[in-house]
Chain A
Amino acid sequence: MAAPTPEVLSSTHVEKKSKQKVSKRYWEETKNTEQKKPEEEPSKDVQNQNEATVKESSLKRKKGESDKPVKEDPFPGQAPIPTERLQKFQRGEKHKTPAGARRKLKEAIVFSESVSELAQKQAARYDLLLPEDAGFLEGDEGEDTSTISQDDIADAVDITSGSKYFNLHLSQFGPYRLDYSRNGRHLLLGGKKGHVACIDWQSKDLMCEMNVMETVNDVKWLHTEAMFAVAQKKWLYIYDSKGVELHCVKKFNDVLKMQFLPYHFLLATASATGFLQYLDVSVGKEVAAIGTKLGRLDVMAQNPYNAVVHLGHPNGTVSLWSPNQREPLVKMLCHRGAVRSLTVDKTGMYMVTSGLDRKLKVYDIRAFKPLHSCFLPAGASCLSLSQKGLLSAATGDVVQVYKNACGSSTLSKPYMAHRLRGQVCGVAYCPFEDVLGIGHEQGFTSMIVPGAGEPNFDALDTNPYRSFKQRQEWEVKALLEKVQPELIGLDPGQLGKVDQASFEQRHKERVEALGFDPLAKEKFKPIKKKKGRSSAGSVEKRKRKVAHEDQRDIIRQSVQEKMERQKELEEKSKEKRELGVKTTLDRFRK
């Protein structure tokens, strides 16, 4: 719904409806919205005001120029940037030049500060180019938004948006898993009983459809819509968009869940045997295979902020993994029963988990502290967080959507709800669209959730409207900018910090990595001499000599150290004596 639909048209459509109360479109700025969520919007209000003032000022400027060319410009220089927006683009703290700094240091600091300030300002200025706002659903007085049916919404909105609510009745091949491509154009469906289909879901154009004649555990798009991975009964398969099998990766067996890390080109898989494996899809190499020793891994999520993989376990713990460490980075006890589902917020701040104890918990994973927990009578089997932070939880055959799940306020009542025909097996929000895809026993349902998608997209990163050529170019650029798997860690900013480890530690690591000590002293090897001078005795003698030399060096060093220490001690005692209280025994001291 973030699609740029002509506003005139939309307004006419909405006006036509007598049941206007049903929904408000996101582009209709109303006061109610601001009243409703005053905590979230104040900055935007200020922004709008500021923009308004800027506009006014520009108008005035124009007028002034036309009327009296001689008159002074009342608004000289560039338009001011509101501080709120500046703060949005601030990176780290400003560093002040120390008072007694050297000239070069001063210059370096001043230059870097000026540059970062410029970058911040420019970014804030260019923020004007992100004009879209997210939508929302608003009921009448006393009306619960969760009671509004999808049909009503689909009727109320414009045709294009209305067409985004649809059902695919696929009752034959069992519960469906689904995945949207990164730009939200393509949908991949995988039925448990082997049905795999990829669809350009907006145009309803079927790209390919097949039955792999095996159990399908999970499906996942790779970096583009040209390739997707299917975790089948035994092995991991990779197909292209026409359904041609490209690879059968036999190293990855019994895969249950998959996650694709787009900036690292890594496909992370969790298997029934307890292995977490990483496949680099750009070179086709297995980057890491970690035996978690935590049993069957069928709950998996990724943190988009730092590419750390979250796994949920039957003992109620959630563990965080990176390919660089053989043990979990963090292990947290979240539920008393097994973890059923988990998901992580786009900003990497919040994690939502649900367990067999029928609880839904929201964690702040910067501090690893639970924010709030609530009790769902049926327990959520599938969770998903949208780009704008809407939480969808599937309980049985009902999908509930919660607003402000990741805020300070607690979950009270669902924002929306939708009943399906069968048990829900997978939920996923479509990026840049107000759409929630639900895979269930009877097929697939695309549900309209106003305000779910990010309205502004970065066309250089994920462009929903990109052409074939653009995709090709993006692919090349993305490959060039690929982030190495070594950089995955809890803190993605770690790279910009100085390595504080001591030389010994670093050396130890180096030795471990290399398998030998590059700085080790070579063992003395006596030269082979001729004319009977290389007899065993003489060789031994020579060895001794060298050994003695070495020992002498060591002894010399230790003696020196001892002397120094003694000196220090003496000095200390002297000071003490001078400072300390005299005792009766001091009279014996010379």
Chain B
Amino acid sequence: MAKSSSLQKTTLSKGVKVTFTMAADEEELPDDEEELPIDDEEAISASEDEEGSDDERKHNKLLEAISSLGGRNRKKQNERSEASVQVSEFSVNAEGTGEKVNLSDLLGTVEKAPGTSNKTKKQLRNLQNSKETLELPLNKQQTEKIQRGIAYEKTAQEVSCWNNIIVQNRKAEQVVFPLNQEPLGPKRVEQVVAGWKVQTPLEQEIFRLLHNNSQPAVDPVLTPIEEASLKAMSLEEAKIRRAELQKARALQSYYEAKAKREKKIKSKKYHRVQKKARRKEFLKQFEDMCKTNPEVALEELKKMELSRMTERMSLKHQNKGKWAKSKAIMAKYDDSARKAMQEQLQMNKDLTQKMVVLSDDEHESKDEELETVPDFVNDPEPIIDSVNPWMKGQLTREQPEVRCVTPEEAEPAGEEHEEEELLGEFERKRKLRQADEEGSTPAEENAEHASEVVGEDVVEISDKEENDDKEEDEEEEEVDVSEFNTLFKLMRTEKSQEGQEDGEGLLDEGPIRVQNIEDLEVLGEVFEPQPTVAPSRPQTAVAETPSAPTNKKNKEINLREVLTKEAKVIKVPFLPTVVEDEHDEQISIIKEAFAGDDVISDFMKDKRKQEAAARPKVVDLTLPGWGEWGGVGLKPSRWKRKRFRVKMPPPPPRQDQKLPDVIISVKRNASLAPHQVSHLPFPFENTAQFESCIRTPIGPTWNTQNVVKKMTKPKVVTTMGAIIEPMVKEDFIKNRTTTPAAKGPAIMFREDKGARRGAKRPSERNQRRSQKRKK
């Protein structure tokens, strides 16, 4: 209620409202509501009218509740009144229509009411006594205008804060969009999660220390310098990785291409060879597998067994087929047919041979059942290995090495799993058998490998021999070089030697020279340097001797004699020519020579002609016969000619005005005009300004790299694919206040609060931005 006094004075409508509320306080009937003027009842809506009765009841109840707070006159309020007494059900009561509602009518009871404070009473009285009427409210247009004005001011103020940034961006040499670019790369957990607070004084102390020394607060957090270096490293790594990937991809594509190519090859022989190679490879692998992955090896073994079984069952390679029979007939005469048959048989042998090996492992399984491996099983192994080392999958070059290596390998093998042991034993057995076979008649399969491997060995050996030879050669060379050097030292001083060598270098170019010299040395041409030295010697000799014309004759005539004569001839005429005084005789000669053509007068004539052509012509506009007699032989009068001749303005002074022996063309270079700027561009006021602005070329031909980059910097830079969102107020405010804070550590303490404010994660900021946009 204390408010009411102030409210009353604002507007009439409000005042009425207030009075109404007051009346309500005094427990006026709900009818009062209906008596209120309609225009004042803005709050009551149509929907409320419909549920009027219900609302009224509620309202009354509310009023009762409020008044009951007063305490004393609770009972009075419980009185009920009937609406029908005042308001007829059938007709509107027209009583009191002409009367105005006075404040006193409404407030008469207030005075009497005991609950009202003196203050309100006083105020009400004052209000009653005041005669002045309240002003009319402004009409709609005017209020709207005022509102608009205020709104404009407000928005103008709001928007004006953008001015600076707009000007700044317009002035800026380069604007980079999107504006808030987050640094790329993964972030640390500490940066993402809001930092924990430092609480205890000890912690504070520690962190302060760390911070002062710009050390990381949490151990994974790095110092800024370290971080930078790390980043650099990561880039390098990325590059390396990329290169690797590229390489891998390239290799893959190569292999694919190769496979495709090979697939297309139709040659049977090729495929046979390939198959053989594959088999070999497989065997090798199998050896390895036996050691490393016995389970898989076992499976492979099983497969092999299966194949053996099928082979045994079938008559495929036994020369029993139709084809084989036909071949058998031919075999007598045809070599190739015989070969084919043999091959078939060999295949059969190959495939069934394994059976023999596998049959051994049945024995071995018995051995295995014994679970104790007898020593003698291990003993023969090294010998076997030495016999056919290729079965091990490693090529041995020198036997003693193998001998010392293999037992070592064997012992750990024994210590390993039983299965491995078993497999190893299989192998050994087989090898042993094979070795026996080799001793008498080597198995074809292995024989092939053997031959190949042996071949390789041979090659290697030969290589080695070569190497040895080379080494020997090198040694020899060294000896030779040393010999050469001693000789050379004897012959010349070190200095001269250098000079000589370099001299040669200039002729021979670079590193090849050394090789060549060495080669020469190897050839044993100790005397070779002498000829190279020899020419340099004579040179020095020549230099020492005052003149050696005989030497030079092969090149040219000695110039000294010629030139001394020549110089005299030249020197005499020079002095006068400088002064421009020519000898009389010479003048006469020249005059004689050019008597015919007067060059100068010709030139003068030419010049005059040119000048005349360049001068603008007088335009004669006289029409004969106008205003006087016309006809053949009659000329227009002098007056008329004078009157109708239009004189053109004189041309600008010629460039060659003061140069009598020069004609400079005054024609404009029209072809250049399309390339030139014809209109002065916007901010410039005169041509001098513009020309001075474009006087510095921007190309790399005339400038250093950095300057070119700076001059041709693009005005706007955008990242491809990035969404450029409209600028939000926070963006530039943040930019202005805190930029470096983002780099700070996540964990903060009291001292750098400002920094922390700035260190809000960009993700957070983005969230807020999006929220703002939604609004």
A residues near B, CB below 8 A?
5-6, 9, 12-13, 16-19, 91-95, 98, 101-102, 104-105, 107-109, 111-112, 115-116, 118-120, 122-123, 125-126, 144, 146-147, 149-151, 155-156, 158-160, 167, 315-317, 322, 324-325, 327-334, 336-337, 356-359, 368-369, 372-377, 398, 400, 410-414, 417-419, 460-461, 481, 484, 486-487, 489, 494-501, 505-506, 509, 512-513
9 contacts between A and B (CB under 8 A): A17-B540, A17-B543, A95-B688, A112-B693, A150-B559, A375-B576, A376-B570, A461-B701, A512-B670
Taking A336-B594, A499-B677 as contacts, is the C-beta distance between A486 and B689 under 8 angstroms?
Answer: no
0 or 1 for each of B691-725: is its CB under 8 Å from A? (1 = yes): 11111110111111011001100000000000000
> Is B736 at the interface (CB under 8 A from chain A)?
no
| A108 engages B693 (CB within 8 Å) | yes
Q: How far is the CA of A144 from the CA of B559 in the complex (A)?
A: 13
Q: How far is the CA of A128 from the CA of B669 in the complex (A)?
A: 40
> Is B599 at the interface (CB under 8 A from chain A)?
yes
Chain A residues with CB under 8 Å of B559's CB are 147, 149-151, 417-419
User: Given B499, B668, B702, which contacts A9 in the complex, CB threshold below 8 Å?
Assistant: B499
Kindly specify which of B326-334, B345-353, B359-367, B600-608 makes contact with the partner chain.
Answer: B600-608
> Is B165 at the interface (CB under 8 A from chain A)?
no
| A336 engages B690 (CB within 8 Å) | no
Least Cβ–Cβ distance between A486 and chain B, in angstroms: 4
Q: How far is the CA of A420 from the CA of B577 in the complex (A)?
A: 26
| B539 engages A155 (CB within 8 Å) | yes
> Is B573 at the interface (CB under 8 A from chain A)?
yes
Chain B residues with CB under 8 Å of A98's CB are 685, 689
0 or 1 for each of B116-158: is its CB under 8 Å from A? (1 = yes): 0000000000000000000000000000000000000000000
Least Cβ–Cβ distance between A559 and chain B, in angstroms: 21
Taking A413-B574, A498-B690 as contacts, is the C-beta distance between A357 and B590 under 8 angstroms?
Answer: yes
| B664 engages A151 (CB within 8 Å) | no
User: A313: nearest residue on chain B (CB-CB)?
Assistant: B599
| A417 engages B566 (CB within 8 Å) | yes
- Could you tell me which residues of chain B, from 168 to 183, have a CB within 8 Å of some CB in chain A? 171, 173
| B663 engages A105 (CB within 8 Å) | no
Q: Which 10 A-B pairs have the closest CB atoms?
A: A375-B577, A95-B692, A116-B696, A149-B559, A499-B676, A112-B693, A486-B671, A92-B695, A374-B577, A333-B661
| A495 engages B507 (CB within 8 Å) | no
User: Given A325, A375, A419, which contacts B573 in the complex, CB threshold below 8 Å?
Assistant: A375
> Is B555 at the interface (CB under 8 A from chain A)?
yes
Chain B residues with CB under 8 Å of A487's CB are 672, 675
- Could you tell me which residues of chain B, from 541 to 595, have a CB within 8 Å of some CB in chain A? 542-544, 552, 555-560, 562-564, 566-567, 569-571, 573-574, 576-578, 580, 582, 586, 590, 593-594
Taking A418-B559, A481-B701 as contacts, is the C-beta distance between A413 and B571 under 8 angstroms?
Answer: yes
- The B interface is mostly helix, strand or loop, or mixed, namely helix
Total CB contacts across the A-B interface at under 8 A: 256
0 or 1 for each of B432-444: is its CB under 8 Å from A? (1 = yes): 0000000000000
| A498 engages B710 (CB within 8 Å) | no
| B696 engages A486 (CB within 8 Å) | no
Chain A residues with CB under 8 Å of B184's CB are none
Chain B residues with CB under 8 Å of A337's CB are 590, 593-594, 599
Chain A residues with CB under 8 Å of B687's CB are 497-498, 500
| B558 engages A91 (CB within 8 Å) | no
Chain B residues with CB under 8 Å of A109's CB are 689, 692-693
Q: How far is the CA of A250 from the CA of B14 in the complex (A)?
A: 106
User: B578: nearest residue on chain A (CB-CB)?
Assistant: A410
Taking A331-B662, A332-B662, A498-B678 as contacts, is the C-beta distance between A105 and B683 under 8 angstroms?
Answer: yes
User: A359: nearest residue on chain B (CB-CB)?
Assistant: B577
| A9 engages B502 (CB within 8 Å) | yes
Q: How far is the CA of A563 from the CA of B322 in the complex (A)?
A: 126
Give the most central of A119, A332, A484, A495: most B CB within 10 Å.
A119
| A411 engages B606 (CB within 8 Å) | no
> Is B253 at the interface (CB under 8 A from chain A)?
no
Q: How far is the CA of A125 from the CA of B574 in the complex (A)?
A: 44
Chain B residues with CB under 8 Å of A484's CB are 675
User: Given B580, B677, B704, which contacts A498 in the complex, CB threshold below 8 Å?
Assistant: B677
| B567 engages A144 (CB within 8 Å) | yes
| B593 engages A122 (CB within 8 Å) | no
Chain A residues with CB under 8 Å of B582's CB are 375
| B593 engages A356 (CB within 8 Å) | yes
Least Cβ–Cβ distance between B536 and chain A, in angstroms: 9
Chain A residues with CB under 8 Å of B675's CB are 484, 486-487, 495
> Is B376 at the interface (CB under 8 A from chain A)?
no
Q: How far is the CA of A62 from the CA of B658 in the complex (A)?
A: 61
| A374 engages B574 (CB within 8 Å) | yes
| A489 engages B669 (CB within 8 Å) | yes
Chain A residues with CB under 8 Å of B670's CB are 324, 509, 512-513
Q: How far is the CA of A156 from the CA of B542 in the complex (A)?
A: 10
Give the most central of B171, B559, B656: most A CB within 10 Å.
B559
> Is B506 at the interface (CB under 8 A from chain A)?
yes
> Is B597 at the interface (CB under 8 A from chain A)?
yes
| B673 engages A146 (CB within 8 Å) | no
| A373 engages B669 (CB within 8 Å) | no
| B557 engages A419 (CB within 8 Å) | yes
Q: How far is the CA of A337 from the CA of B570 in the complex (A)?
A: 21
> Is B684 at the interface (CB under 8 A from chain A)?
yes
Taking A315-B599, A331-B662, A487-B672 as contacts, is the C-beta distance between A398 and B696 under 8 angstroms?
Answer: no
| B684 engages A108 (CB within 8 Å) | yes
> Is B503 at the interface (CB under 8 A from chain A)?
yes
Q: How far is the CA of A324 from the CA of B667 in the complex (A)?
A: 11
> Is B659 at the interface (CB under 8 A from chain A)?
yes
User: Given A147, A322, A329, A461, which contacts B563 in the complex, CB threshold below 8 Å?
Assistant: A147
Taking A116-B695, A329-B665 as contacts, is the C-beta distance between A122 and B599 under 8 angstroms?
Answer: no
| B668 engages A505 (CB within 8 Å) | yes
Chain B residues with CB under 8 Å of A158's CB are 506
| B563 engages A146 (CB within 8 Å) | yes
0 or 1 for each of B504-520: is its CB under 8 Å from A? (1 = yes): 00110000000000000
Chain A residues with CB under 8 Å of B557's CB are 419
Q: How far is the CA of A101 from the CA of B688 in the complex (A)?
A: 14
> Is B626 at the interface (CB under 8 A from chain A)?
no
Chain B residues with CB under 8 Å of A16's CB are 499, 540, 543
Q: How far is the CA of A193 from the CA of B552 in the complex (A)?
A: 30
| A118 engages B578 (CB within 8 Å) | no
Chain A residues with CB under 8 Å of B683's CB are 102, 104-105, 107-108
Chain A residues with CB under 8 Å of B697's CB are 91
User: B539: nearest residue on chain A (CB-CB)?
Assistant: A155
> Is B495 at the interface (CB under 8 A from chain A)?
yes
> Is B323 at the interface (CB under 8 A from chain A)?
no
User: Given B567, B603, B663, B704, which contacts A123 in the complex, CB threshold below 8 Å?
Assistant: B704
> Is B680 at the interface (CB under 8 A from chain A)?
yes
| B672 engages A155 (CB within 8 Å) | no
Taking A327-B665, A499-B673 as contacts, is the C-beta distance between A126 and B704 under 8 angstroms?
Answer: yes
| A18 engages B599 (CB within 8 Å) | no
| B556 engages A112 (CB within 8 Å) | no
Chain A residues with CB under 8 Å of B173's CB are 111
Chain B residues with CB under 8 Å of A410's CB are 578
Q: How far is the CA of A16 from the CA of B493 in the complex (A)?
A: 13
Taking A119-B703, A147-B560, A489-B672 as contacts, is the C-beta distance between A333 and B685 under 8 angstroms?
Answer: no
> Is B682 at the interface (CB under 8 A from chain A)?
yes
| A93 engages B692 (CB within 8 Å) | yes
Least Cβ–Cβ distance between A140 and chain B, in angstroms: 14
Least Cβ–Cβ distance between B672 and chain A, in angstroms: 6
Q: How far is the CA of A260 from the CA of B281 in the complex (A)?
A: 68
Least Cβ–Cβ distance between A382 and chain B, in angstroms: 17
User: B661: nearest residue on chain A (CB-CB)?
Assistant: A333
| A419 engages B703 (CB within 8 Å) | no
Q: How far is the CA of A4 from the CA of B84 in the complex (A)?
A: 126
| B695 engages A368 (CB within 8 Å) | no
Least Cβ–Cβ distance between B651 and chain A, in angstroms: 13
Chain B residues with CB under 8 Å of A9's CB are 498-499, 502
Q: How far is the CA of A398 from the CA of B602 in the complex (A)?
A: 34
